[in-house]
Amino acid sequence: MFPHFIVQGGKWLEGETRINGAKNAALKSMAASLLFKDKLVIENIPLVEDIKRMSELLENLGADIKIEGKTMIINPEKVGGKDIDPEIAKKIRASVVLTGPILAREKEVFFPHPGGCVIGKRPIDFFIEGWSAMGANIEETKSGYRIESQHMRGAEIVFKNISVTATETLMMTAVLAKGKTILKNAACEPEIPALAEFLNQCGASIKGAGTHTIEIEGTEGTLLESRGKAIKTIPDRIETGSFLVLGSLLGKPIKITECSPEDIAVPIAILEQAGVEIEKGGDWLRVTAAKRLKSVDIKTKEYPGFPTDLQSPFAVLMTQAEGECMVFETVFEGRLNYVEDLNRMGATITTCDPHRVLVRGKTELRGREIESPDIRAGLAFLIAAMTAKGESKVGNIYQIDRGYERIEERLNALGASIQRVKS
């Protein structure tokens, strides 16, 4: 049975919604559990499909996992597995972050070519070059990579391009290595310092997380100890931004709680430039649908710039703005593949090249049948369907479920009309 959403468009949204823990932060905390000798408690876990897949991968390696409400308890005591299950890994790109902790803990790891969203090239050479510099032997096969090192040592690693996942993975590898590792041109996303701060509380020595240079003094194989301390997952800034887009289109108003406005300062500034009224508090935002939306150019960039994960929802927003704007995707070359589906709904979007499109507004969107190509474009399609006139069918909603917990229930509580149907 393949579930889909039936969406009745044009419903105003009003009320309050709480932001869940960040999927991308929780996944990295789960991988970091392999650096510990005792139980790791992770609070504010989002109950999404990617979290389930990561749990399956960890259990396959020997970890014991329990979930109590929004709290996950991981006991790595019996971990001994060295191979990442390829059938599970092909469903989740973040499986690659397990390789660093497994290699550091077990001295050997096999990981398959990772799966997840089809949104363009995500080079694996950053990881390979980093582990090689740290003393690992690497063998590539048709199905993946076998990496082995009995003595991981610190090294200076310079990323040719900023990579969030490579920064996180090599940072975790370095925690148990011998000597100092320096990561240059590292990513600065909020999830990275949040993880580093907790690891430092448990025996790691990481400096500079949240800047472009991170220094890690390794423990020479000594596992970390949580000693009852819990890591609390930070709020999901991508979910926050997505609800802001919804509120900009349909809010009467919407209050967004338990979020971190400072983590999405650039998207907020762009929304305000487009004419959206946003009230801000320390951990909340209130957004009202703009009476008149103005077109604003969007250019994705690594943090603290405009996040690539919010590019497709903002493109939907711009179809309802007056004027013409350019959406410039600089991070992934395959992330504009959703454009033709929006055009079939009535949008006027012209592709300039694989990285740039022109959006002309204001156009009336009409309900139709669409398929979610990836997590973020899937939610963008849901936003488009809620904005459109008439009924839409949104398929392949597993992609949406990978990143957004019970999204239809939360939106219906605000006034939307979304039905999950199995066919």
Q: What residues act catalytically?
A: 117
The count of other CB atoms within 10 Å of the CB of residue 137 is 12
Going 122 to 125 to 126 to 130, the CA torsion angle's sign is positive
Please compute, for residue 131, the number of CA atoms within 13 A of its CA located in the half-sphere on the CB side.
29
Q: How far apart are CA 171 and CA 102, in angstroms?
A: 13
Q: How far apart are CA 104 and CA 119, in angstroms?
A: 30
User: Measuring CA to CA, how many Å separate 42 from each of 49, 137, 279?
Assistant: 17, 33, 31
Q: How far apart are CA 358 and CA 116, in angstroms?
A: 28
Residue 24 counted as an annotated binding residue: yes
Residue the block writes with tokens 């005591």: 77
Q: E-assigned strands of 137-200?
A: 137-140, 144-148, 156-158, 180-184
What are the DSSP calls for 80-121, one per residue?
---B--HHHHTT-GGGGGGHHHHHHHHSEEEEEPP-S--SS-
Strand 71-75 with 40-43, pairing: antiparallel
- Going by the DSSP 8-state scheme, the letter that residue 272 receives in this structure is H
Residue 105 counted as an annotated binding residue: no
Q: What distance lies between CA 364 and its chain's CA centroid?
A: 30
Q: How far apart are CA 259 and CA 235, in angstroms?
A: 5
Residue from 292, 245, 237, 246 nearest 271 by CA:
245
Q: E-assigned strands of 209-250?
A: 213-217, 230-232
59, β-bridge pairs = none
Residue 75 counted as an annotated binding residue: no
Residue 60 counted as an annotated binding residue: no
The count of other CB atoms within 10 Å of the CB of residue 70 is 15
Residue 53 counted as an annotated binding residue: no
CB neighbours of 282 closer than 8 A, spacing ≥ 6?
261
Say what the alpha-carbon torsion angle 209, 211, 213, 215 is, to the nearest 10 degrees: -20
Q: How far apart are CA 364 and CA 292, in angstroms?
A: 14
Residues contributing to the annotated binding site for phosphoenolpyruvate: 23-24
Which residues belong to the annotated binding site for UDP-N-acetyl-alpha-D-glucosamine? 93, 309, 331
